[in-house]
Every structure is written in C-alpha cells, then in structure tokens.
Structure 1
Amino acid sequence: MRTGTRRGVAVALAAALALAGCGRDSGGGNQEAAKPVGEGKAKGDITVWAMGTEGEKLSVIADAFMKENPDAKVTVTAVPWDGAHDKLATAIAGKQTPDVSLIGTTWMGEFAKTGGLDPTPADLVKKDDFYEGAWNTTVVNGTSYGVPWYVETRLLYVNKDVATKAGVTTPPKSWDELKSAIKAFKDKGGAKWGINLQPGATGSWQTVMPFVWQNGGDVAKDGKFTLDSPEATEAFTFYRSFFDEGLSPKDLPQGALEPAFVKGQIGAFVSGPWHIGILKDQGGADKYTLWPMPTKQAGTSFVGGGDLAVFKDAKNRDGAWKFVSYLSRPEVQATWYKTASDLPAVKKGWDDPTLSGDPQLSAFGKQLEDAKSPPTIATWEQVAAAIDAEVEKMCKTGEKTEDAVKAMQQQATAIGTGA
C-alpha cells in the first residue's frame, strides 16, 4: 500500500499551507489554467523525487527516456516513504522543489492547496486514458494537478479449501450473500474466523469506506461532510456486524494473517495486489481465489497508488511534463509493471499480455473500473484519523454505530476541508 497515508505533521504542513496566502495561486478556484508545454524533445536537467521501490528502480525507465531525449538528463533521488511528506512540504515552503515528484494519492489535496503544484496540461495528458477513480485523485477544486502513475485496488482473498468445504462455489453478489458466505466459512468450512477485517487500525478507513460507497454514501457532498448519513450509518453497521457476530478477529497479532489464511484458519481478507507476492512467499500461491467486492447500490472498491506532480517552482517545467507524459505511455506503463510490479494507471497499459494474460491481475484490473478514493481535501489525513478512531471504538469496544458516526461527523466538521 502506497497511498501516502500518514498522521499530520503540523509544523511542515502549516508552513506549506501558509504559502497559499503569500502570493501563490492557492489552487482554490475552479479550473485553474494550465500552460501548454513546448513542442519537441525534452532538454536540460530534470530532477525527480520518488519513494520506496519506485525511487530505487525508476532509473531504468529514466535511462530509456534519455535515449529518446539525448539532450535531457534525468536525476532520480530515492526518498524513504517515512518522512517523505515532511520533505515535500518543506521543499514547497522553501521553494526548493525538484521538478517532479511521486506523491501519495491522499496527499494531493494538501499540496495542491499550498499552490505549489502545476496544473496538468491538457494538451499533453488526456484524462480519458486513465481509470476514472485514479484520475480523480489528482483533481482538486476542479483542476488536475498531476497524473496517476500506478494504481492499486482491493479484492477479497478467499481460501479455496475453506470455500469448498463451506459449499460456496461462486463469489457473492450482494451484502447478504457475502455475510452468508463468511458465516459458512466459519460454520462449515473449518475456519476459526470467516474473514479478517481491520478493526480500526491506522488506515482502516481504506477497508471501511468501500462499504459506504457501495451503499450510496460518501465522505462529503457539496462541501459538507456526510459521515452520519443514513447510507453511511448502514454501511458502518454492516461492517461492525462481522465483529459483533464473531466472524472477524478484533485483535489479530501482526504477521499472523498470512499463515492463518494459508492454513485455513481465516477464510478471507480484503487486500491489494501486493498480497499475491506475500502469499507466494508463504507457500500459499495456489491456496486462494480472488472475489470482486460485493454490490449494494454499487460494487465499489478503494483505489490508491501514486501520482506524479510537477511543481510550480520547477526549474525545467517542460522537461518534467514530458517525462511524466513518457511515463504515461501504455507501453512504458507495462514496462514499469515488469520493473517494479506497479499496476498501470493507464487503461491501455493493461493490454500487455503480462497483465491481460494473468487471471489474478486481470481481476484487479476489472475492479479498477469501479473504485474510488477519498475527497482530495487538504485535511484528509486528520479526517481519516477520526474515522479510524471511531471504527476502532465500534469494532473493539462496542460503541453504538449512531454514536460513532455522530462523533466522526462532528470531528470532521470541526477539522474542516481546508478550503
């Protein structure tokens, strides 16, 4: 998971947000104009920050770009995810940014609010080339401030032996069918726990919110938070029912999930494509099948990943956007998957046989057609922390759903959107 989830860093964020009132365009208006990019090949030095594995492996793609653009030089700096948010905020505040950087999807609202990001040039990058849910992670107040580089979404990993013993032969289509299947995993399939869901740990909103979206609810609507809406309340109630009914553990030790799942002690869990490799390492490559999210009003899942943004203070804006455009080519997206195992954000990137010919990866590609992200607001991390805390109270200590959603709504409203 690389969505940029973190807890607030008050000093760095305050310094960065202060720029919105210090001569920069805050990005607060609708459809901020994007300057066109010059024609021809890229030239000059292009500085790039990228985190984690992406930072370690991007030079492979950069070398290919430089062969195509011999007058350009791309310098990639690998930045650890821990501390990356502070480093970016400080760079924006001090006007000492690289030309382009990888940015966690849930950080886009914060950094666009500072006025430090350059609007996406529509003449160079086309919205329709990308999955809608992924593209929306770049849009703040009607303006796109980057492009999705890679994506991930969530499916249900299901132990095949448990499902067979339970007599569950097809993926559930509805919430009721999902609950029946999970009960059968425990009652008939031999699993101690029918499913493992996050009981309020940091980032649990990524598992909870899809149920809200499936039920027609959302975090906010028309600029106001809606965490206590009837649709959201019903979704939170459904989620907590798995804990109330003893179908999901309330406190699973770290590292215990995968071994228990492979052994059939846990029937299912919700996660992203990275678990394919983890389960293979645990000897469980042939032990599971993948189910799409169940449907209520929709079958929505969560979309995360990483976005690429060019900064207002970029010394080589044209070169930066041309590098971003290059990384968005379908064939380059497919090559990047083979290099770093990051799934393409560009839909045509999935036409590559490496992806289209893999049933497991194709399942994630299909789910990406119905996947959403939280709103791109400057305060999302604080709001997410409030959601996580109340989910934990609901699932672990039995707080009433009505009280939990009321508390979420009050805290989110007090925090505000940062607009």
Structure 2
Amino acid sequence: MIHPKAAKAAAVGLAAALLLTACGRDGNGAAKESSTPVASGPATGTITLWAQGSEGEALPELLKEFEAENPGVTVNVTAIPWNAALSKYQTAIAGGTVPDVAQMGTTWMGDFSPAFEPTPSEIDSSTFFPGSAKSTEVEGTSYGVPWYVETRVVYYRTDLAEKAGIDKAPETWDDFKNLAKALQEKAGAQYGVQMPPGGADSYQATLPFQWSNGAKLLNDDGTKWTLDTPEAAEALKFYSGFFSEGIASKTVATGATAETQFVDGSAPMMISGPWHVGLLNKAGGEGFAEKYKVVPMPKAKTATSFVGGSNLVVFKKSKNRDAAWKLVQWLSKPEVQLKWYKATGDLPSQESAWKDPSLAEDSKLAVFGEQLKTTNNPPSVETWTQVAAAADSELEQVVKGGKTPEEALKSLQQTAESLGTGK
C-alpha cells in the first residue's frame, strides 16, 4: 500500500526530475560539499518555512514554543498543498525566492539538492534511524535532517489466521506465503494478501523483498544501475507469484477499499505504513484492534523494509541561514519530535524518542520502531523517479502481461542505463 503523502511526493519527484532546470548538475556529478558551522546564541530575525499539507497547518502552534525560547525570532509558515508543491519550489528556486527552511519528501532529495545547504557538523546524524539519515545524502553529502519517518510492516488478521490453523506470526518468506495461502484456503478469504499489481508507485512495494534478498539498485559508488541481478530476479519472482497463483488480486485496492477488504476478511493481510493502524481501528470499530497484529517484514537474508517520510532542509539562498539551522536543530530534538508525534501522528526520526511510553508501550507502533532499525531507501540520484516510473510499467507487464521477471528486469536495466545516474 502507498500512503497518500508518499504517492504525491513521488509524483512531484518525477515531475521535478523531468522539468527541473535551475538546479541541474553536470554529467560528471558533484564533489562532496563541506558544511559551515552555525553561529552560537539564540535565533533572531525572521525565518520563513514552507511545509506541505497537514504539517504546514499544524506547525504554527508547535513553533510558538520555539519563538518563546528565542524571543528575538519570528517564524512565518506557509502551508503548501501537495499538488502545488512542484511549481512552488521550482519557481522559487529558479527565481531565487526560496524560503529559509522547507519540508522535503525523501524522494525529492536527488532532484533539488543543488539548492540545499550541506548539513552542519553540529548535527549528529548517528542519533537518527540509519535509513532515515541516509535519505538526506546525495553523492556523499548530507543535505538536511530527517524530520519524521515511516516504514512498512505486515498487517494480518490473527483471528482468521487462527481459524486457518496458524498461531505464529510470519517470520520468513515461506511463512508469509503459507499464511496468505491458508487465509485464502482455510479462513474464507477471497485473496490471502493485498499487494500492488502495477501502476504508479507499485514497484516500490517490491523493494523490501529485493533488499531483503541482497539486491542493490546501484553499485557501491553509485555510478551504475544494478537492477537485473539474480537476487532481484528471485525477489520479483517471489512477489509476482502471489498474482500468478491467484493469492493476490490483479486489481489495485486503494483507499477505503483496502481497509474494507481487511476488515471484512476478503483480503486480510497487507504490507503498509503506520497510518493504517488508526484507519483500520476506525473502520473495524470497537474491539477490532484485538483482531489483527503488525509484525516486521518477512526475512530472506535480512528483513529490510522501505523508509520514507520527510526531511527538513535549509536553502543556500536563505536570508537567515544561522537561525534557520537553529530551527531545524530544535525540530530535531527528541522531546520536540514527541510533541509533534502527539499532535500529528508523524513518527519521530530520532531513535531515542521511541523509548517514550507513548511509543514503546504501544504494541503495534513499537513494531514500526523495531523495523526502522533495518530499512533502506531508493537512491538519491537525479534519474531515480524516471527509472521508478519505468519499473512500475515493467512490474505490471510481469503481473498482467506475461513477461518473466528476468525479461522485465533486463528491459528495466536497459532503460536505466540509457538514463544514467546523473554522475
């Protein structure tokens, strides 16, 4: 399943990759950039901050505390609808009218990073979940900090699993597939699991299986695509097998349909993010939370999942650079991230924040915290969104058009090589 925010971010990222001109790189890539220290003392002056969707609407209330701690500063927040973000950022970068601080989806970093300041050394990246910290890096340089995170885990109906004779959570690929089959054959489910069969952002759903099987999308120095490896083919064969064997539907279940199918038992297992905890509890009504569990991704060589969310960046053309970084540092504090989580539901990127009882003692959310320790993210290169769009099409041809995983990956590799990596 793809969260609405993630889907919109990916769409913006694709358009940015195709249209962005003001921030282009040369064909040889860029050298690692050095950072500049942040001046000491409280923040002063005016800070402009742009944020998307509900985050932009909720931030002003939280930032009253930052302004109280720094009496000489004013933070002006502009809330931008997701569907207007592309033109807003592109126009601002081209015209030199950028804000001081901005929220950036993790899939945007490779497209816009030439406009961002490198992260100052005062910010310790080791305090964040490794996968989220990696999402700020482009060509060896970190640009910004992880603000909030999300990852994907397995949701399944324990009551129906017990009806099917399974009382143990799936831990391996075989366990996962056997549970899906049992839910279908013995518990009355029409389909054992919900999985994207193709279309926008669908290939993203295969990546946890590829990473868990040891596949890499790029070589170690990030100069060459490695999409058609045996490890990737084996993972794609496993994934597509759910469709060829009729265990998963070839029709996409989106939005309320996904929740409905999970609640009514017609498709009682899926891989999704933390937002679905609240949605399922609401859709299922009182007591439904006791009928399902969330567990980490099934293991092959590892049990690696996808990490997403949003980062905070400071623009090189910021008019109040030091104050901007002080605001980013403040928003990165574990105690501030906990307040933000309680206000919005956005999960903290700081590992230490997960020791708080509000997260540690919630049996479902704690699973996300554990999974965040083993995550990966798509490469932050200029051409990723174009490669991902081609990959979505190839996946659909495997599921619905009869291509073999090997044929699809060979075609994808050729497309990716023609696009390059921007280095």
TM bucket (normalised to shorter chain) is over 0.9
Range with bigger deviation, 27-36 or 390-399: 27-36
Cα shift at 1:253: 4.9
Structure 1 residue 6 corresponds to structure 2 residue 5: no
Matched AA of 1:294? P
Range with bigger deviation, 177-186 or 247-256: 247-256
Which position in structure 2 is the counterpart of 1:336?
A: 340
TM-score by length of structure 2 reads: 0.94
Cα deviation digits, residues 343-394 of structure 1 (max 9, x gap): 0001111122111111111010000000110111112111110111111111
Contact in 1 for aligned 2:306/2:376 (Cα 8 Å):
yes
Cα deviation digits, residues 184-242 of structure 1 (max 9, x gap): 11111221101010001211122110000000002111321111111001111110000
Cα deviation digits, residues 139-158 of structure 1 (max 9, x gap): 01111001000000001110
Structure 1 residue 231 corresponds to structure 2 residue 235: no
Contact in 2 for aligned 1:27/1:140 (Cα 8 Å):
no
Cα shift at 1:135: 0.4
Size of the alignment, in residue pairs? Answer: 411
| CA pair 10-29 structure 1, distance change in 2 beyond 3 A | closer
User: Which residue, out of 164, 176, 180, partners 1:178?
Assistant: 176
Cα shift at 1:10: 6.4
Cα shift at 1:31: 3.1
Q: What is the CA RMSD across the aligned residues, in angstroms?
A: 1.7
- SS class of match (2:82): coil
User: Which residue, out of 372, 392, 395, partners 2:396?
Assistant: 392
Contact in 1 for aligned 2:60/2:77 (Cα 8 Å):
yes
Q: Separation in 2 of the partners of 1:243 and 1:202?
A: 18
What does 1:25-174 align with in structure 2 at a 5 Å threshold?
Answer: 28-112=29-113, 115-123=114-122, 125-174=123-172
Cα deviation digits, residues 106-143 of structure 1 (max 9, x gap): 0001111xx210000012x1011100000000001111
Q: Separation in 1 of the partners of 2:335 and 2:106?
A: 23
Range with bigger deviation, 269-278 or 200-209: 200-209
- SS class of match (2:115): coil
Matched AA of 1:414? S
Which position in structure 2 is the counterpart of 1:354?
A: 358
Contact in 2 for aligned 1:13/1:86 (Cα 8 Å):
no
Cα shift at 1:11: 9.2
Structure 1 residue 321 corresponds to structure 2 residue 320: no
Q: Separation in 2 of the partners of 1:28 and 1:327?
A: 31
Matched AA of 1:322? K
Q: Separation in 1 of the partners of 2:402 and 2:159?
A: 32
Q: Separation in 2 of the partners of 1:235 and 1:339?
A: 38
Which position in structure 2 is the counterpart of 1:311?
A: 315
Of all paired residues, the percent bearing the same amino acid is 46
Which position in structure 2 is the counterpart of 1:408?
A: 412
Structure 1 residue 251 corresponds to structure 2 residue 248: no
What does 1:288-307 align with in structure 2 at a 5 Å threshold?
Answer: 288-307=292-311
Cα shift at 1:160: 1.8
TM-score by length of structure 1 reads: 0.95
Range with bigger deviation, 177-186 or 49-58: 177-186
Runs of 5+ unmatched residues, structure 2:
none
Cα shift at 1:86: 2.7
Q: Separation in 2 of the partners of 1:252 and 1:350?
A: 33
Matched AA of 1:72? V
Cα shift at 1:16: 2.3
| CA pair 81-241 structure 1, distance change in 2 beyond 3 A | same
Q: Separation in 1 of the partners of 2:356 and 2:32?
A: 34
Q: Separation in 1 of the partners of 2:15 and 2:107?
A: 14
Matched AA of 1:333? Q
Contact in 1 for aligned 2:314/2:324 (Cα 8 Å):
yes
- SS class of match (1:307): strand
- SS class of match (2:103): strand
Contact in 1 for aligned 2:20/2:111 (Cα 8 Å):
no
- SS class of match (1:35): coil
Structure 1 residue 16 corresponds to structure 2 residue 22: yes
Contact in 2 for aligned 1:153/1:301 (Cα 8 Å):
yes
Q: Separation in 2 of the partners of 1:100 and 1:273?
A: 26
